[in-house]
Structure 1
Amino acid sequence: MTRPSRHCLTPVRFLLASLSLSLTSLVAIAADSTTREREDLLALLAGETALATKSGMNADFVPGMATILDGEDLLMRGARTVWESLALVPGLSLGLEMTGERQVLSRGVGHGYASGNIKILLDGVSMNSSLLATANSVLNIPIEQVERIEVIRGPGSSVHGEYAYAGVIDIITRKRARQLRLQADEQGGSGLGGLWYWTDAERDLTLSMNLAGIEDADSGVFVREDALATLGESHLSNAPGHSNEAQRYKGAFTNLQWRALFLDLKLIENSYGDYFGINHFLPPADHNLASRHHTVSAQAGFDPRLSDTLSAKLRLEFLRQERDRSRLYVFPASYLADEPIFMSQDYQETRHRGSADLFWRPNADHTALFGLELSRITIDQAKWEWTNLPFEISSNWMDTDHDRTIVGLIVQDEYRATDRLTLTGTLRYDDYSDAGSMLSPRAAAVWRIDDANVLKAQYARAFRPPTFYELEYAAQTTLEASEIDTLELGYILTRPRWEARATLFHSDLTDPILFSETGDEGYVNTEDVRLRGVELEYIHRFGSRVKIDANLSYVDAVRPDSDTVLPGGARWLGNLALLWQPYERWMAAFQLNYVGKRSRVDYESRGDLGDYWQLDLTLNYRAPVKGLSMHAGVKNLADSDIYYPDILTSFGGVELIYPDGYPRPGRRWWVSLSYAF
């Protein structure tokens, strides 16, 4: 059974802690209510987003609930990567695949191997692979490279197509800055990076570069027992021992813009260890970089203004993704052979995509969008080699002749019926050469009751086609695309010093694709799922030196036919942050994250995985030397026990589990130095 956390907060205690901290902060700053002329350093970025409708609009007025995370604010709070940052969004939680691939669960959806259910964009370019629908290397981008992160919770297929099933995330990289950076952490990780841009105002020409490199020989976390313990084979195990969480990241982003034309190039290489082992057999802690993701992305765009009422966005994209394995630890010695068994694997896919969006604005109250997208995805390579395997196996692990062509059509109408009521209707049609066709409608209304109150209502449908991997390893003859229908009701209340948001949602998932839980090894369309929940957000600014923000979300994710809970996700999630600027050059941030109990796949044998809370402390200092600043912090300050739920895996019909789930690091420090010039 899983050890209970040493420090646990129930949702009620979490709310009481939030109230107590709020009152304490009020007393502490009651004497400081003077208004400053300069911009409040504690305020979040309040800007426009095109993520929900493709047309720029204030985030409070778009259909559905959008969250914008500012890169500087994230750095001040101690977030180190895009992946870590997403835990701050209501309804989102984090998970891990057994060999270290990052997962993001939205409203309880997303647990399982090859389970990408969120569309992940990088400067507007889709980075989800067709192999697994994931984008691991993008989630590992360091926050120092990020300008902001835009998030839509819930369905987004009506605008963004495939994999915008449970949410959409767009990472906007930094471009207009000149900066040098250094960073280090307790595990021996170190990194450097830099930003540079050049502009010619007369020619309307801009060039930017954004570089980062990080190396971390992390010895991982202590693991008491692995799957061999549950099989009675502990003598074959590397446990007790440490997981292999070594990592290397390289990212180079270049952007060239001239008037309405731009060219965007991105190169990401992310290598990491084999963590807990692909079959839940703990690998040796030898710092082997067993997985390597190599991504090359190029986008050319032209945004012409055709007339007073017509404008367009034209895009050509190229994306090549390589997902390679090097001596991935599979079986221990004496399990199937006298020597340990390793696997090396090479996979490469290429996507070409073209899109054209035409915007028609006949008057100030009406915007129509007509869009066309064409995509072609091919598998260029899918080979593997096995070391010490006692029998022969084919050198190809995927059908390299499998390819995918997608045609997408979108029609959208935004109509401002009155000065305060905006109606949006969207309809998207996608045709897949290997997965049939899907229709994604959306109908939304945003009612600005007055300057302080906004009411939103939305119905949307999204889809998730089977991935190449799921099609290759399906346990049934035909895998159908999964669909999700969602009803949302949102309310926003804005006051000069505080803001509150509330979202109610109901979702029905049809034919979700998961690895079989019934003993058949492969992917199947499982029974339907129903989601019901609420998400609450609150921000309060006390003068110019203190800000508190909090969110609390609840979701009931069940399978009505069997009356079982959807595994992996937590019913309760919460965040509480205090940002305090005691002096002109100093700022402190306390960030508390709560994750409730999570249901496992094997309900009877182990029960729920315990809840936990994590407290992070970050100190930020701007030196008297112009442009020099420091960010330093401690993650998991209270050294809480944190576990992620393990993912179902089996071999020969036998379930292989980690008895306690996947342990995560305890208390550790980090530091980041930057110089802007």
Structure 2
Amino acid sequence: MKKYSMAIPLLLLLLPWGAPFVFATELDPIIVTATRTPRAPANTLAPVTVLTRFDIEEAQTDSVPELLAGLPGIDMTRNGGPGTTASIYMRGTNSGHVLVLVNGRKMGSATLGTFPWENLPVSQIERIEIVRGPRSGLYGSEAIGGVVQIFTRERMEGLNVDMELGSGSWDSRRAAFAVSGGGKNTNASFTLAHYRTHGYNVKQHSNTSSALNDPDDDGHRNLSLSLKLGHTFANGIQVEGDFFRARTRSEFDATSTRATSDNTESVQQSLGLKATGAPSERWKLTVAGGLSRDDSKTFTLKDLDDIFNTHRRSASIQNDFRIITDHTFTLGADYLEEQISGTSAYAVSERYDRALFTQYQGSYGRIDWVAGLRAGENEQFGNHLTGNLEFGHRLSEEVRILAGYGTAFKAPTFNDLYYPATAYGAGNPNLQPEESESYEVGLERRDNHSNWSARAFHTKIKGLIDWTPSANNPWFWTPTNIGRALIRGVELEANTKISRFDLGGAFTWMDPENETDRTLLARRARTTFKGSLGYRFARIPAHLTGTLLLQSARYNDAKNEHRVPGYGTINLAATYDISDAWEARLVANNLFNRRYKTAMATATPYDAPGRYVFFSLIWRYSR
């Protein structure tokens, strides 16, 4: 298997750079995930959502799944409360059809093929960029439903310090310390955060005689840190290194013995180095390399049952050429190694994926377009070609119509391919990637005070990997490429400001059909609405926000035999500025203590969190 040197980005320092690279220098928020180049969200053709640090703090949530729930095109299910397994479904696709990047690097388990959303602390996050729709033309495997890129806390000049202490329901505690600073050319950031809660019994309304009903509270704790260090040289070269690590321990119900605590211990870690420079005024070159890991240990009856480790190495090089104004051509290459280890002996434990990608962004008159193509080679299944094409036409300065097309794929996981044979099942090394084809059209309007958008999408997925029983032995399960899905949907979104009021709403309707069985895909609600109303007081430095989340019913299983009822919750968050340095926050989630669930274990429900109240104090210093 090919290896690479982590010193590759340092080679940029030896090159004879010319004039500094000049692209847009606007101060508005930008998004890089949609095209791998910086763009203002208003100028992006793909459907995007950007959550800034301000948005994250205003939400006053302890978890990324709760932060994403109800956003356009996004559905979230959870096996209970804090630290329990959470799944994100984007535009009705599977939870493994969402590519997750942390500071540009792929994260998650290569055996399960999913990302542990429940283990990522919001205290470490500076910004979240969400791109809906296929993006395999830029990123390769997984990006059928979309891409979520998470950036840890950023570097700033001067000296900036944030400290937070909080306490709330279920004996929950949170503490966070963040500091950033430096000069114009050299600066750094460091964040340390800790969260722990006793939780609650996530199966308190299940059958008490069940062997899997452990009648205790299911606690969770998370300790995390992140670090960034950057320097800009006199010749314009920018070099940045970043490190992130989160260690968690989450309890779950696997036995009926009160005296023991069944739990999972996990580590998510990412290390990266990136260098950016400009050989000429119209050429920007970026080279990056990184390491990431996802390790988990599962204990039942105090015994170590399973260990699953995923280690990744990645490298990329990207050239952005500004041909003329509003015309950018991108050419790059990616390399990724994945290696797994643990208590189970897989026939194959490592693989590589390498690819070339290109993209052309242009504008002529009132027409904008983006065209991309990616040719990849995977060690397991060979070559794969994907791409995307998007157009936008401005009817006026505020209104434009949009259209897009894209293809994508999802490589089989190590479990799908090589899971060791047992009496009950085995992997299938002959599997092929899942493939998709998507179309969408849209209309949007933006001005200085409000914006709204409407999009309709159509996605067809073939070769879905389903684990099915053997014809000769109904107790022996293996995966095959037999599934097909057709997903159609509509996304509506609107935001406006009226005097001291902030209003926002997102509505998603979709029909996620399993064409093989003519059933609805499991755990996906057909209708979701999320609305928010915020008010900033005139006489006191306070802000109050209410959020309503409504979801229709869903089925917990592929055969649609176990129905999960719809629900509605209301959250209320308040912020009060005590002084220039001190701020008080109070949040009440599920204000009316609505009992509901989004997922089940066969026919046993995982109770969603009841009323949750949390109070925190924040101290800030900046100079």
- TM superposition score category, shorter chain reference: 0.7 to 0.9
Structure 1 Cα separation of the partners of residues 345 and 42 of structure 2: 45
Alpha-carbon distance change, 129 to 435 in structure 1, aligned in 2, over 3 angstroms: farther
Structure 2 Cα separation of the partners of residues 526 and 634 of structure 1: 45
Q: Does 1:206 align with 2:160?
A: no
Whose strand fraction is larger, Structure 1's or Structure 2's? 2
Paired residue for 1:93? 75
Paired residue for 2:171? 188
Paired residue for 1:179? 162
The residue correspondences of 1:443-522 to structure 2 (distance < 5 A) are 443-473=389-419, 474=426, 476=428, 478-516=430-468, 519=474, 520-522=476-478
Paired residue for 1:560? 515
SS of the residue corresponding to residue 200 of structure 2 reads coil
Deviation at 1:120, TM superposition (A): 1.0
Alpha-carbon distance change, 119 to 173 in structure 1, aligned in 2, over 3 angstroms: same
SS of the residue corresponding to residue 218 of structure 2 reads coil
Paired residue for 1:361? 322
Q: Does 1:421 align with 2:349?
A: no
Structure 2 Cα separation of the partners of residues 246 and 283 of structure 1: 16
Deviations 1:231-260 (A, max 9, x none): xxx3x6364834x53111111110010011
Deviation at 1:401, TM superposition (A): 4.5
Is residue 301–residue 313 contact of structure 1 (8 Å, CA) maintained in 2?
Answer: yes
Is residue 204–residue 215 contact of structure 2 (8 Å, CA) maintained in 1?
Answer: yes
Q: Does 1:271 align with 2:249?
A: yes
Q: Does 1:295 align with 2:239?
A: no
Bigger RCO of structures 1 and 2 (CA < 8 A, at least 6 apart):
1
Deviation at 1:77, TM superposition (A): 2.9
**Equivalent residue letter for 1:213:** H
Paired residue for 1:127? 107
**Equivalent residue letter for 1:172:** F
Q: Does 1:575 align with 2:552?
A: no
What count of residue pairs does the alignment treat as equivalent?
Answer: 573
Deviations 1:423-467 (A, max 9, x none): 111001121111332211111112232211022111011111011
Structure 2 Cα separation of the partners of residues 415 and 604 of structure 1: 46
Correspondent of 2:492 among 494, 515, 536: 536
Alpha-carbon distance change, 524 to 671 in structure 1, aligned in 2, over 3 angstroms: farther
Alpha-carbon distance change, 313 to 430 in structure 1, aligned in 2, over 3 angstroms: same
Structure 2 Cα separation of the partners of residues 49 and 140 of structure 1: 24
**Equivalent residue letter for 1:532:** R
Paired residue for 2:592? 638
**Equivalent residue letter for 1:667:** R
SS of the residue corresponding to residue 368 of structure 2 reads strand
**Equivalent residue letter for 2:361:** E
Is residue 576–residue 591 contact of structure 1 (8 Å, CA) maintained in 2?
Answer: yes
SS of the residue corresponding to residue 512 of structure 1 reads strand
**Equivalent residue letter for 2:456:** L
Structure 2 Cα separation of the partners of residues 173 and 600 of structure 1: 34
**Equivalent residue letter for 1:514:** D
**Equivalent residue letter for 2:519:** T
Structure 2 Cα separation of the partners of residues 164 and 634 of structure 1: 35
Percent identical across equivalent pairs?
A: 20
Alpha-carbon distance change, 283 to 430 in structure 1, aligned in 2, over 3 angstroms: farther
TM-score, normalised to structure 1's length?
Answer: 0.80
Deviation at 1:94, TM superposition (A): 1.2
Deviations 1:95-144 (A, max 9, x none): 1359932211112222xxxx5221111122221331222221x5533333
Is residue 508–residue 529 contact of structure 2 (8 Å, CA) maintained in 1?
Answer: yes
SS of the residue corresponding to residue 48 of structure 1 reads coil
Paired residue for 1:4? none
Deviations 1:191-216 (A, max 9, x none): 21111112122xx0011101111122
Is residue 398–residue 472 contact of structure 1 (8 Å, CA) maintained in 2?
Answer: no
SS of the residue corresponding to residue 406 of structure 1 reads strand
Correspondent of 1:250 among 223, 233, 242: 223
The residue correspondences of 1:590-605 to structure 2 (distance < 5 A) are 590-601=546-557, 603=559, 605=561
Paired residue for 1:338? none
Correspondent of 1:344 among 305, 308, 313: 305
Paired residue for 2:20? none
Identify unmatched segments of 5+ residues in structure 1: 1-44, 330-341, 384-396, 648-656
Identify unmatched segments of 5+ residues in structure 2: 1-26, 233-237, 420-425
Is residue 598–residue 645 contact of structure 1 (8 Å, CA) maintained in 2?
Answer: no
**Equivalent residue letter for 2:164:** R
Structure 2 Cα separation of the partners of residues 129 and 237 of structure 1: 28
